[in-house]
Amino acid sequence: MVWVMLRSVTYCGYDVNISFVVGVTYALSYLFGMMSVIFFAGWIAPKLLRIDLQKEAKELEKSLGDTGEKRQPGQFESFGILRARVYEVSAVEIFNTSVAELEARFQVRVNRVARRGKLLEVTPGLLLRQGYLVALQGKLEHVIAAGGALGDESTQQELMNFVNEERDVVITRADLHGKTVAQARMMLDFKHRYGVYATRVTRLDQEFNLYPQSELHVGDVVRLVGAAEDVKRAADEIGYSLVPSKSVDYVYLGVGLLVGVIIGMASVNIAGVPISLGTGGGCLISGLMFGFLRAKRHTFGNLPASTAQYLRDFGLAVFIVSIGLETGPQALAQIQQYGLMMPALGICAVLFPCMGMLLYGRFVLKMNPVILCGAITGNLTSTPALNGVIDAARSSAPVLGYTVSYAISNVLLTFLGPIIVYTV
């Protein structure tokens, strides 16, 4: 966006085309600036704070309620989160016990009840009698405890079989915003009401662990696991289900681009100087608006994460190549004239703000150093730097500081970019 505005400017009464200057400067400063923020956030900042980033990440996870063993990518629990068993009611002590009482006592879910080969409608008030077959689901230790109270385990699984589902759900319920995972569990009580468990959560396509003290925001994507009917009811209570699809809503994408171009064409006179967002800024504003609509209603505007990543990478590659083709003839002369000054300016333009953020965040705001390092990468809108911090910390905790700062910085860059250009 700033590149487009700087293609032709007026300086000292002369109309000067400086696109080749900006192109070379942008390419070099971008390269060295990106390397600098990666190096600073993942290595220099922890050294300056005199902390062990991995140790601090573990302490943060413990404060958020982490009690389990951390699994690496590709690893999973061998017995899964939910287990299902079928038992025949034979214990006298359990006769005339209601389904609701059994579920509350043992923290399990009764998914099927059968009598003499026929399924019965499962209701909270249904009384269990001798000879009933009961299909239980829940954590293994809870299912075994409940089964021991019911009677012997049965092998009649064909009649009692039911379908489980794993579904991603976008949180749109306003009263969940800012609530911790523990508070949300108390409010919703999915485990007891529906027999549904949450297994993961992502924010801006970045996954972070479901600790009891982790905060939830509107727009977060939570993965629910349980019986298909129960998962659907739980999903409807907190938001909208993400329907797995690899197709792209090209109409929605095209309308968003058109609106962005129109916004970018509009200009406002400030102190006699016409200022516009340009095509890039207009499309960013349009993307924020259309993304907000998509977050509120996921029945339209599907754009798979892999497609979005491709569009970002391909668009950036085309942009850089176009700059190189246009500025190539003057690039060598520009580098010979200014030498190491442009890489040095790119590094300084990153390190000085990073130092300011580090000092202010740590000593004024008293931020946790792990979250602070993630916030620094978000303020500079650098996802590669975030990945570097995650690798250094061996934890996804830095994502908690990245997401909000990344969104705000993108908006501020759009609005402040033109003002800075025309002011300077």
pLDDT in tens, 26-47: 777 777 888 899 999 999 999 9
Distances in whole angstroms, Cα of residue 305 to Cα of each of 99, 149, 287, 380 = 42, 47, 15, 22
The residue extents of the domains of the chain are 2-64+248-423, 83-160, 164-241
pLDDT computed for residue 157 by the predictor = 78
pLDDT computed for residue 4 by the predictor = 45
Helix or strand (DSSP H, E) at 225? strand 221-227
Contact 389, 373 (CB under 8 A): yes
pLDDT computed for residue 383 by the predictor = 84
Residue 237: how many CB atoms within 10 A of its CB?
A: 14
Helix (H, G, I), strand (E, B) or coil at 89: strand
* Rounded Cα gap, residues 373 and 402, in angstroms: 8
Helix (H, G, I), strand (E, B) or coil at 253: helix
pLDDT computed for residue 329 by the predictor = 64
The token pair at 171 is 């949180």
pLDDT computed for residue 90 by the predictor = 92
Name the burial class of residue 81, with classes exposed (0-12), middle (13-18) and buried (19+) by CB atoms within 10 angstroms of its CB.
middle
Helix or strand (DSSP H, E) at 168? strand 164-171
Phi, psi of 167 (to 5 degrees): -135, 135
Residues with Cβ < 8 Å from 188, sequence gap 6 or more? 234, 237, 238
Helix (H, G, I), strand (E, B) or coil at 81: coil
Taking the C-alpha atoms of 59, 64, 66 and 70 in order, what is their torsion angle to the nearest 10 degrees? -70
* Rounded Cα gap, residues 37 and 419, in angstroms: 24
pLDDT computed for residue 370 by the predictor = 93
* Rounded Cα gap, residues 56 and 47, in angstroms: 13
Residue 386: how many CB atoms within 10 A of its CB?
A: 28
Location of structure tokens 């009764």: 110
- Partners of 221 in the beta sheet? 170, 202
DSSP 127-167: EE-TT-EEEEEE-HHHHHHHHHHHEEE---HHHH---EEEE
* Rounded Cα gap, residues 10 and 375, in angstroms: 37
Distances in whole angstroms, Cα of residue 421 to Cα of each of 8, 31, 273, 407 = 12, 21, 11, 22
pLDDT computed for residue 263 by the predictor = 87
DSSP state of 175: G
* Rounded Cα gap, residues 349 and 32, in angstroms: 10
At the fourth CATH level, the homologous superfamily of domain 83-160 is: Regulator of K+ conductance, C-terminal domain (3.30.70.1450)
Helix (H, G, I), strand (E, B) or coil at 35: helix
> The domain 164-241: what is its CATH number?
3.30.70.1450
Q: What b-and-e string marks burial along 284-320, b requiring 16 or more CB atoms within 10 Å of the CB?
A: bbbbeebeeebbeebeebbbeeeeeeeeeeeeeeeee
Per-residue pLDDT tens over the stretch 127-166: 999 999 999 988 888 899 999 999 999 888 777 888 888 8
Per-residue pLDDT tens over the stretch 70-129: 555 444 454 556 788 999 999 989 999 999 899 888 888 898 899 988 999 988 899 999
Summarize the chain as % helix, strand, coil (round to 5): 55, 20, 25
pLDDT computed for residue 195 by the predictor = 72
pLDDT computed for residue 48 by the predictor = 93
Which residues of the chain are modeled with pLDDT < 50?
A: 1-17, 73-76, 78
pLDDT computed for residue 381 by the predictor = 86
Rounded to a whole number, what is the distance in angstroms from the first to the last CA of the chain? 16
pLDDT computed for residue 268 by the predictor = 77
pTM above 0.85, yes or no: no
Contact 197, 225 (CB under 8 A): yes
